[in-house]
Amino acid sequence: MLKMHELSITKKLIEMIEKEAKQNKIKTITSVTVELGSLTSYKKEPLSFYFDALKKESALIKKTKLIVNEIKGRLKCESCGEESTIEEPYMIFCPECESYNVGIVKGKDFKILNISGK
Amino acid sequence: MCEECGCNGEKQKDKMIFLDKSVTELNDSIADKTRIFLKEKSILCINIMGAPGSGKTTVIEGIADLIPRKEIAVIQGDLESDVDKKRLEKMNIETFQINTHSGCHLNADMIESAISGMNLDGKKYLFIENVGNLVCPAGVKMGQHINIVISSTTEGSDKPKKYPLVFMDSRLIVISKYDLKDAVDFNEKGYVDDIVKINGRARIIKTSSKDSESFTEMAHFIEHERKHLLEREHEH
């Protein structure tokens, strides 16, 4: 298998959910929900691909469904306070007052929101 | 007995565990420790990103002609070989090679382990020359204080449009091989306009390996960044 960018982060994701499941005495994880920001370097399709390929190797996650909530980036203008969504093609300035004095407030995270199982 | 799950009568319900945990948590916590450690040693850590052949090593060599070499250390990231490490060692620059084999970028644990094998006494600047790639290194924390992108005229002026993430997080964009801009019809205005849209606060500097003076602005830039880092009370 090609060692693509998402492979190692998918392995890390599986390691983390398996640890949480064991701590919570879950024997089969039914689903895992993650939040994936559009401004991270990870994408949904390869993540799902590697997750489905790797889950066969573990009894705990054999039947786990990976739910990916994709979140668009958002920025907040430090000059006028306006918040806006970062659409493609990316433009990182305030659409309201055109200031470059902006901060990215959403879209840079890849987080596990929850796991469920029995 | 339930045929589906083997329970007695009542089907066992799923329990949900709420986590809200970053998948990059472990990497980021190692990166935070490295960043603070380096600041305490008064070392500015600079992550250099760019496509293969964009001139990342050449830019470090150019700066090393202007700053005392004993103040510089470099961590070299490449899939294979120690070609660039040998180049820098010829200039008496302390260099540590990381070979990622098929890994597409460097991570915080690689840098932590490299640093533990380096003598950083008296160093002021630690360059991390990332694996040549405009996609994967973007947004990865390793312990760097600033990111720099090296983007050569020969790659074309459409790179900020095509790879915005790597440009978005960088304090400085270096247009390298500037002497070749006319030969390759580099659209400088279009390039700069695109950078401004993605990262209006980034500084743009032009360099050419044929003109050693062109690295002066860059040397001043990193000196200024280090001064700024040391003046900051807290490292976030």
Asked if residue A83 belongs to a domain, the reply is: no
**Closest CA of chain B from A45, distance in Å:** 16
Asked if residue A78 belongs to a domain, the reply is: no
SS3 B178: helix
Contacts of B229 (CB under 8 A, 6+ apart): B39, B44, B145, B235
Predicted local distance difference test score (pLDDT) of residue B233: 76
Asked if residue A32 belongs to a domain, the reply is: yes
Asked if residue A86 belongs to a domain, the reply is: no
Predicted local distance difference test score (pLDDT) of residue B204: 98
Output the CA–CA distances (angstroms, integers) from residue A113 to A13, A103, B20, in the order listed: 12, 24, 4
Predicted local distance difference test score (pLDDT) of residue B71: 98
Residue of B nearest to A114 (CA): B18
Residue of B nearest to A43 (CA): B136
Six token digits for residue B150 = 């090296």
Binary contact (B139, A8; C-beta < 8 A): no
- Mind giving me the DSSP string for B129-146? E--SBSSTTTT--SS-SE
Q: Indicate the average pLDDT of chain A.
A: 94
Asked if residue A99 belongs to a domain, the reply is: no
Residue A84 in contact with partner chain B when CB distance is under 8 A: no
What is the spatial order of strands in the sheet that B72-78 belongs to?
B94-99, B72-78, B125-129, B44-50, B146-152, B172-176, B203-206
Predicted local distance difference test score (pLDDT) of residue B197: 94
Predicted local distance difference test score (pLDDT) of residue A1: 39
Q: How far apart are CA B7 and CA B39, in angstroms?
A: 58
- What's the structural domain count of chain A? 1
Query: Chain B contacts of A9, Cβ < 8 Å?
Result: 23-24
Predicted local distance difference test score (pLDDT) of residue B10: 58
Whether the CB-CB separation of A70 and A104 falls below 8 Å is answered with: no
Task: Identify which of B21, B137, B196 has the shortest CB distance to residue A112.
Answer: B21
**Burial level of B84, CB count in 10 A (0-12/13-18/19+)?**
buried
Residue A87 in contact with partner chain B when CB distance is under 8 A: no
Whether the CB-CB separation of B229 and B39 falls below 8 Å is answered with: yes
Asked if residue A111 belongs to a domain, the reply is: yes
Q: How far apart are CA B156 and CA B54, in angstroms?
A: 11
Task: Identify which of A93, A108, A111 has the shortest CB distance to residue B200.
Answer: A93
Closest CA to A26 of A72, A58, A69: A58
Q: What is the pLDDT along chain B (236 residues), one digit of tens a residue?
A: 555 555 565 567 899 999 999 999 999 999 999 999 999 999 999 999 999 999 999 999 999 999 999 999 999 999 999 999 999 999 999 999 999 998 899 999 999 999 999 999 999 999 999 999 999 999 999 999 999 999 999 999 999 999 999 999 999 999 999 999 999 999 999 999 999 999 999 999 999 999 999 999 999 999 999 999 999 877 65
Predicted local distance difference test score (pLDDT) of residue A11: 95
Q: How far apart are CA A2 and CA A43, in angstroms?
A: 16
Q: Is the pLDDT of residue A2 over 50?
A: no
Q: How far apart are CA B47 and CA B166, in angstroms?
A: 11
- Please name the amino acid found at residue B158: D
Asked if residue A18 belongs to a domain, the reply is: yes
- Identify the structural domains of chain B with CATH numbers, from first to last: 26-230 (3.40.50.300)
**Closest CA of chain B from A8, distance in Å:** 9
Query: Chain A contacts of B13, Cβ < 8 Å?
Result: 118
Q: Is the pLDDT of residue A5 over 50?
A: yes
CATH code for position A39: 3.30.2320.50
**Which residues pair with residue A33 across a beta bridge?**
A67, A114
Binary contact (B23, A111; C-beta < 8 A): yes
Whether the CB-CB separation of A45 and A68 falls below 8 Å is answered with: no
Task: Identify which of B13, B23, B140 has the shortest CB distance to residue A112.
Answer: B23
Q: Indicate the average pLDDT of chain B.
A: 94
Binary contact (B17, A90; C-beta < 8 A): no
Asked if residue A50 belongs to a domain, the reply is: yes
Predicted local distance difference test score (pLDDT) of residue B203: 97
Residue ranges making up the domain that contains A12: 5-71+107-117
Summarize pLDDT for B204-231 with one digit per residue, the tens.
Answer: 999 999 999 999 999 999 999 999 999 9
| DSSP single-letter state for residue B80 | S
Binary contact (B17, A116; C-beta < 8 A): yes
Q: Is the pLDDT of residue A81 over 90?
A: yes
